[in-house]
Structure 1
Amino acid sequence: MYPGAGWNGDKPIYRFYSYGVHKIYNRFGTDRIFNNQTGGAKAYACKGAIGTNCLGNQAAGTYWDYDITPINSIKLAK
């Protein structure tokens, strides 16, 4: 996850290395979420802190710029 709608000099603010739910804290405005997983794994931006109320799914190898203000967790799944 990168701050703002860009790559931030290839310096993400969050990196997740395992499947499951990962909480994010104190992020507002637009941030970029890059799903760098392989093999068809999905990433979900979720409003619930425990991976609930998610916004669709993001395919492996793609990125999206989200209004991150209502997002409280990122869920990674196969």
Structure 2
Amino acid sequence: MELSIASFTLLLKQRYRVVLVALLLATGLVFAGFSPVPAAHAAPTQPMDCTAGQTCHGCPPGYVCIYPEGSTNGVNDTTPTQKYYYYGVYQLSNQYGQHEIINNQVDKAWASLCTDWQGATCHQMLAPLTLGTYNLTPINSIKVKPTAAGVW
């Protein structure tokens, strides 16, 4: 009986060590900056080529607009597929590949692209009155939030 209890105890200790090593490795990867989800790859944002307070490439003043896949600077298609006016988190669905995004906010609101559904893990920010091209494949939500310094 003692032999089987001793064997069982040894087995538990070995499994405990394996689990502990796996947890330590996972924790080390997280603190080393490893991210299992890629951030949205983007061309640098640039100022809009429109006048502030005016509709820009079909995006009304005060809105953040997403254009169809493959649009460039909103010129190829002046009809946004998504428009967001109010502050908050908006879940995205069926948005893949490169999309043009214009932040036509006139009240210093920023837009951020997030990989989670709740708008908590955000990687890219668009300043007010800017545009950029982003890969929306890893993006699950967009957050529109007022801020003076662009810090979340």
| 1:57 alignment counterpart | 125
Q: CA deviation at 1:58?
A: 1.0
User: How far does the alpha carbon of each residue in 1:2-51 deviate from its partner, in whole angstroms, 9 at most, with x for none?
Assistant: 01232243100000110000111011110111111112110001111111
- State TM-score, norm by structure 1: 0.91
Q: Residue type of the partner of 1:75?
A: K
Determine the C-alpha separation between the residues in 1 that align with 2:121 and 2:132.
Answer: 18
For CA contacts below 8 A with separation 6 or more, give which structure has more relative contact order: 1
1:39 alignment counterpart = 107
Equivalent in the alignment of 1:5: 71
User: Could you tell me the TM-score, scaled by structure 2's length?
Assistant: 0.49
Number of aligned residues: 78
Specify which structure has the higher proportion of strand.
1
Structure 1 residue ranges without an equivalent (≥5): none
Q: Computing the radius of gyration over CA atoms, which structure comes out larger, 1 or 2?
A: 2
Percent identity of equivalent pairs: 38
Q: Unaligned stretches of 5+ in structure 2?
A: 1-65, 147-152
1: CA distance, partners of 2:91 / 2:122: 13
Q: How far is 1:53 from its partner? A: 1.2
Structural RMSD (CA): 1.2
Q: Secondary structure at the match of 1:10?
A: coil
Corresponding residue for residue 97 of structure 2: 29
More helix by share: 2
> Counterparts of 2:103 and 2:82 in 1: how far apart (Å)?
12
